[in-house]
Amino acid sequence: MTSPSPPPNAHPYLRAASAGVRHHTRALSPPDATSSRATDRQHLDVLHAHLAAVLHLLDLLAESTRPPHPAAGRLLATAHTRLWQATSDVHNAFHLLPADTAADAETSACRPDRLPEGPPMLTICQRHLAAGHVVRRKTTPSDLRPRTTACVR
């Protein structure tokens, strides 16, 4: 027995977000194999925001799926952990890219002992720390290995 297909307008905001990501991917794709554009911090900041939002959604889906369907809930929880690892890598890459200005260069290090000074470091680091608290509450350190969730700088 097949389940009925969802109506075409189901989850319109999620569909719009996916369309936005596809559009941005096409816009960044070089027309030929020889040309390429380097990523900048703004791209990674926006991508990190998107990944953090998807991370939160995936966490909610895993929690609501787990009681009636434990196996599916475990798979969603595993996907949540892997998405966290990707989100963490995007955060680390953000800090490894050169700063746009000299003032940004001085404040570009992620310092867990104090808040970063000003955007976009303040925004991406706060977002990343908030997501990290949720992940660490729901996973064990062995689930996160061999990857690290610490800042690279």
The mean of the pLDDT values for the chain is 79
How far is the C-alpha of 53 from the C-alpha of 69, rounded, in Å?
24
Q: Using the predicted structure, report yes or no on whether residue 32 has a pLDDT greater than 80.
A: no
pLDDT at 48: 94
Over 70: is that where the pLDDT of 86 sits? yes
Q: How far apart are CA 8 and CA 6, in angstroms?
A: 6
Phi/psi at 10 (5° precision)? -70, 135
Q: How much is the CA Rg of the chain, to the nearest whole Å?
A: 18
What is the pLDDT averaged over residues 55-75? 93
C-alpha–C-alpha distance, residues 1 and 7, integer Å: 18
Q: How confident is the model at residue 58 (pLDDT cuts 50, 70, 90)?
A: very high
Whole-model pTM: value is 0.75
Per the listing, tokens 């703004």 go with 42
Confidence of residue 76 (pLDDT cuts 50, 70, 90): very high
Q: Taking Cα atoms as reference points, which of 126, 131, 102 lies closest to residue 115? A: 126
Tokens 């009636």 belong to 68
Q: Mean per-residue pLDDT for 4-8?
A: 68
Round to whole Å and give the CA distance between 123 and 8: 35
CB-CB contact of 5 with 11 (8 Å): no
pLDDT at 2: 59
pLDDT band (50, 70, 90) for residue 83: very high
The four Cα atoms 94, 114, 55, 40 give a dihedral, to 10 degrees, of -10
pLDDT beyond 80 at 46: yes
